Structure 1
Amino acid sequence: MHHGDFSSPLADETLKRINGRIAGAHEQIFRSACLLLTFGTSWVYEQKNTGRIVGNCHKLSEKEFTRRRLTVDEIVSDYVSLLSGLLARNSGLKVIFTVSPIRHVREGMHANQLSKSVLLLAVDRLQAAFPENVFYFPAYELVLDELRDYRFYAEDMVHPSEVAAQYVWERFSSACFSPETLQIIEESENIRRALAHKPFHPGSEEYKRFLGQIVLKIDRLNGKYPYLDFQKERELCHTRLKI
């Protein structure tokens, strides 16, 4: 919970924002049908004087921490406890695990592969422990085994390229979404692309009619699916219509 969205000149305000988000997530997760969790690396920093694993070193000296790789048993133990608690409150929850294809190369490529292997084995154990609730989507394998080429990585050779990310998204969509959901995504994307259009004459009547058509599309889609949030898109349309 260290994203810039929580930043404030006042420590109390920052803490309030963080705790507010945690409380909201805590409430939402027990009403959710699906939870998607991505493992990135099994390398962690452990604070020497407490033995606790930290999520952020907060610019403290590296000497205060031990960097080590978690074991499969450690990960499984923590997540069995976590998932058991979640499922006790929300028995229908489906949990989809993925392993990130982003390379963590500080220790070298071989160490990265060992780290990813630990994560994959841990997920496999969790699937066996919760066969009705835990699933695995092979994002890692799609990038490394199906795409299999450095042209699908960004210039840093660590992060997947936009093309690779889109490929994984399309495979995930086809595997996990219903035809109705795919249709909603397509219509929403059409609205997004239309709003991304940059007109030569933003004050023209033609462009205002174009914006009016977008508003109608939003209204139709929202009429069928009231839970969709198009507030920002509506505001953008109305702002442009006033030009």
Structure 2
Amino acid sequence: MPEDITSVHITSKDGTTLAVDTVGEGAPVILVGGAFNDRSTVAALGAELAPRFSVVTYDRRGRGGSDDRSGDYLVANEVDDLAAVIAHAGGRASVFGHSSGAVLVLEGAMRGLPIDRVAVYEPAYRAAEDAPGPAADLYDRLKALVAAGDRDGAAEVFLREAVGVPDGVIAGMRSGEAWPFLTGKAPSLPYDVLLSTPWQVMPFDRLARIGVPVLAVYGDRTAPGLAEATRAVAATVPGAELKVMEGEDHAVLQRPAGLAGILADFFG
């Protein structure tokens, strides 16, 4: 397993400072986590890929070692961040995203960033009008909770309404050791909902114009909505591949070996 990790801070378009790690040698591959994730949660996947690739991970703005110098939440901010990481990686890269991170890398491809190949695991889209989803004011309420300094409240609302976690499970999570890690990411949750806009249907027309190779992956034990969204991405992006991981669910980053093999084959 690789041990030599290079850690730096780079600057995004609006002056935001991003914490970036690089490990391994070879063609650059950037890994992007979803809500409540930072570069530590994709590190194990990166270690699996590092023998074959130069793996770049980063803290999305407003979480971990990255700040947020913007005056408001905008999807363009996070796209600019991804562009800055790609530039740091050498000017072109393949990218992988998980959950809302999957939406972010697809957004980068749709906006024409210098991306060679895109792999996504369970993008957090809403695939159909009749699929369950939160109220359209979720973003405004999350933003207000963050502005008020109520990180516990923001994390609870996101888990309940965006993810669909039952109240009893949330109560158990609040008493668990991982809760401070989750609430530490609360200021960035408005970005996750802006990317996914789970109160409306995914952007089929824009996805259909992606012109780079795309691989969409989901686990057969994941939530039905995430599986449907992944299948929809594969069916919409021209030439996209679809893979289903047996016995796997949304927590795949905790068991990265199988996913790493799939990604290594795709990224070549």
TM-score (norm 1): 0.36
Q: Which has the higher helix share?
A: 1
Q: Which has the higher strand share?
A: 2
TM-score (norm 2): 0.34
**Larger RCO of the pair (alpha carbons < 8 Å, separation 6+):** 2
Q: Greater Rg, structure 1 or structure 2?
A: 1
